[in-house]
Amino acid sequence: MVVPEPRHVRPGSPIIEPFAGTIVAVPATDNRNGNPTTVYTDGACAGNPGPGGWAWAVSPEGAPSGSGGERHSTNQRMEIFAAFDAMRSLPGPLIIVSDSTYVVNCFNKKWYVNWQRNGWKNSQKQPVANQDLWKPMVALYDPTVHTFEWVKGHSGNRMNDLVDQLAVAASKGPFDDVGDAAEPEQPSTLF
């Protein structure tokens, strides 16, 4: 499956249209001075599997932000996609905050190192789920630029609540037909 481009940008976010039909979020903050940008990410799924949505938003104001979804997805897939899209959309040092221990631990506990060493098999010798997202995300990951932090979901954190709302809204569509025909990989185990 080809990893889709961002489909939605939150109204009010600065946007540019470099090519017809392509919407790209433009960071409202300039972090080229070395100060990291903090971005919150979340995924949601109505049923698991079912229609899914992902979202990211820059703290503290919630802009810029991005969101989108897939007609047939899983919650894990949407959590991964949210963090991946934030990484590829925002320049400079990032603190990526997620309520997904799966996403955070992949990088903080370096699970991806063993996955790569084992030919993208997990500890149970099964193929790692969502490799079509993990592989480009791991290729993009730079530990000197990207830091992952965990936040407890649904705990009253304003930014986590915002990206949750955006992801839930994105899970309701509309969906592009591109990339929606294939069923998502069913995860065998978490790691």
Active-site residues, by number, are: 42-43, 79, 99, 154, 164
Phi, psi of 139 (to 5 degrees): -65, -35
Structure token digits, residue 19: 């090519």
Amino acid symbol at 102: Y
Q: How many residues in total does the chain contain? A: 191
**Rounded to whole angstroms, what are the CA distances from 89 to 10, 98, 117, 152, 171?**
14, 16, 28, 24, 20
User: What letter would DSSP give residue 183?
Assistant: P
Q: Are 69 and 170 in contact (CB under 8 A)?
A: yes
